[in-house]
Structure 1
Amino acid sequence: MRFGIFIYDGVEPIDLATFGVLSMARRIAPQIEVCTIAPKAGIVRLSSGLDVIAQFGIDDAPGCDIVIVTGGPGWEDQTRSPATLAYIRRVHASGRIASVCTGAMILAASGVLDDGEATTKRSVVPPEVSPLARMRAMYPRIDAREAAIVHSGAVVTGGGVSLCIDTTLHILADMLGEQLAGETARILEYRRAREANSNAKAFLAG
């Protein structure tokens, strides 16, 4: 089973915890494969200057069982990229797609969230406007929810920053079973945080 992680210049480094969760899950389920995909293969400069290497560009990306779109300050540029938006639509048309943090704003711009429920990052540093509020204002066809995770059909959107961990665990539970997700949370030493988050009001919607 192949998981693709879509990155781009300006991704918030903490969103790469998505990769970290999947890396730990592979210790239990070695059939999991993970690849990084960007607008172009090669060096991608994340927010605050961290450089990572994307294995594939969108033109040569392999087929994935799901692609997870990361978030960060670079999301606005990606919403104006016809190539990125076309790639998102192709992935959605052929299978599953997900987002963490402001990656949902890229999904929103592509149209794949229209007529469904979604969430995105809520907490910001003033005077920045909450991405969730921007989603509501910019994309009225989306039912933007105050939730940590929204699972709507073949699309999963996660809330801001550290919730990328919970979102990835939710995806693992959905695709490979709760036992795998629970064991992954255990070896991440994240079980207490996951339980606390899942017990919070409006944790999961859709």
Structure 2
Amino acid sequence: MSSDTHRVAILVYDGVKLLDVVGPAEVFGEANLLGAGYRVDLVSTTGADVASSMGMRIAVDCGAAAAADPGTFLVPGGDIYPRTPVTRDLVEAARDLAGRSGRVASVCSGAFVLGATGLLDGKRATTHWKIAGELAARHPRTRVEPDAIYVRDGTTYTSAGVTAGIDLALALVEEDHGPDVSREVARSLVVYLQRAGGQSQFSAPLQGPPPRSPALRRVVDLVTADPTGNHSLTELAGHLNLSTRHLTRLFREELGTTPARYVESIRFDIAKSLLDQGHTATRAASLAGFPSYESLRRVFARELAISPAAYQRRFATARRARAE
């Protein structure tokens, strides 16, 4: 084994979400085509194969105790947590691997496994927005950031749900091999190198019932995946080979809004997240896809009856209060 090899141990278990495993693994594998030296080992508590949440069997390389010391130790998520307590054998395996690794990471509800080991005590962390409250309640010594795509605290990394594991893996590749390699990996996998905003841009539009129309579901997916793109009524209609009148009617009947207002609402959520992260209002407006600061200010006045700057000050005050 080359001294340049970086071992990545992924701890899998019955009920693990398959994309949480293969998403990061594909990032590391793609980086290897560009000269990286990652070796991904799938590890279980006993060395036995496991079944994913969709029933697909996952072949395991070895048990946790037999695994070589990893440079990166990653715990993927699964629907089983946080519905049930983390099992003792999984906690012990995670604690052992974490103690022998250079850095520790989790995807989605994998943060509950790290939390059960005590590894998140006194640290910042994130998980899927739907279960962030449960993580905070179960681990009060952890400062949960529910809107983050991923969080780094020292050598501990946690990420949001499912595809955010890809964002996290790209960040790890960039840390190891620089931005050029991570950028090429992102381009090869046709994913964003760094998504603007936080989880709110994904959670907010999905809180209502999904559209019935397959065409409208495609529009929702398109806007949610790339909220800063050109999503004018004409552009959206062209993607679906529909008339602008028909698309407008679909939005009105199924979502109770217009295409323009829907796009604006997503950009509004992104702008709020960027302000929360400390960006200036002008920068937040630009990154969120607003044509100007003034257009963002008008939306804030309509939705919250305050300016972006006032919102940012209020958020900062609330954050300091929570920290105290």
TM norm structure 2: 0.56
Check whether the contact 1:79–1:106 (CA below 8 A) recurs between aligned residues. no
- What is the CA-CA distance between 1:6 and the residue it aligns to? 1.3
Moved more, 45-54 or 68-77: 68-77
Q: Does 2:193 align with 1:194?
A: yes
1:9 is matched with which residue? Answer: 14
Name the amino acid aligned to 1:149: Y
CA distance in 2, matches of 1:3, 1:78: 27
1:68 partner SS: strand
The one of 72, 75, 81 equivalent to 1:75 is: 81
2:67 is matched with which residue? Answer: 61
Q: Does 2:137 align with 1:137?
A: yes
Tell me: higher relative CO, structure 1 or 2? Use CA pairs within 8 A at least 6 residues apart.
1
- What is the CA-CA distance between 1:175 and the residue it aligns to? 2.4
Equivalent pairs: percent with the same residue?
Answer: 27
Name the amino acid aligned to 1:138: R
Q: 1:169 to 1:30 in 2, by over 3 A?
A: closer
User: What root-mean-square deviation, in Å, do the aligned CA atoms of Structure 1 and Structure 2 show?
Assistant: 2.3
2:186 is matched with which residue? Answer: 185
- What is the CA-CA distance between 1:70 and the residue it aligns to? 0.3
Give CA deviations for 1:33-91 in whole Å, capped at 9, x if unaligned.
Answer: 11111112232100021111010111211111011110012335885322322232233
CA distance in 1, matches of 2:32, 2:85: 32
CA distance in 1, matches of 2:151, 2:14: 26
Check whether the contact 1:78–1:84 (CA below 8 A) recurs between aligned residues. no
CA distance in 2, matches of 1:101, 1:53: 22
CA distance in 2, matches of 1:11, 1:108: 17
Give CA deviations for 1:140-159 in whole Å, capped at 9, x if unaligned.
Answer: 10000021110000100000
Name the amino acid aligned to 1:31: G
CA distance in 2, matches of 1:204, 1:22: 28
Check whether the contact 2:82–2:109 (CA below 8 A) recurs between aligned residues. no
Check whether the contact 1:58–1:84 (CA below 8 A) recurs between aligned residues. no
Moved more, 152-161 or 8-17: 8-17
1:137 partner SS: helix
Unaligned runs of 5+ in 1: 123-129
CA distance in 2, matches of 1:103, 1:81: 13
Give CA deviations for 1:166-202 in whole Å, capped at 9, x if unaligned.
Answer: 0110111122322221111111122xx3344468536
CA distance in 2, matches of 1:25, 1:66: 15
Give CA deviations for 1:71-119 in whole Å, capped at 9, x if unaligned.
Answer: 0123358853223222322333343110011101110111000001000
1:42 partner SS: coil
1:126 is matched with which residue? Answer: none
CA distance in 2, matches of 1:171, 1:113: 19
Name the amino acid aligned to 1:167: L
- What is the CA-CA distance between 1:13 and the residue it aligns to? 1.4
Structure having the larger proportion of residues in strand: 1
Check whether the contact 1:151–1:204 (CA below 8 A) recurs between aligned residues. no
CA distance in 2, matches of 1:118, 1:49: 29
Q: Does 2:171 align with 1:170?
A: yes
2:233 is matched with which residue? Answer: none
Check whether the contact 2:167–2:194 (CA below 8 A) recurs between aligned residues. no
CA distance in 2, matches of 1:74, 1:41: 20
Q: Does 2:27 align with 1:21?
A: yes
Structure having the larger proportion of residues in helix: 2
CA distance in 2, matches of 1:80, 1:31: 32
Check whether the contact 2:45–2:93 (CA below 8 A) recurs between aligned residues. no
The one of 98, 101, 112 equivalent to 2:108 is: 101
Unaligned runs of 5+ in 2: 1-5, 199-269, 279-324
Name the amino acid aligned to 1:34: V
The one of 39, 44, 59 equivalent to 2:50 is: 44
CA distance in 2, matches of 1:105, 1:198: 24
Check whether the contact 2:182–2:193 (CA below 8 A) recurs between aligned residues. no
TM norm structure 1: 0.86
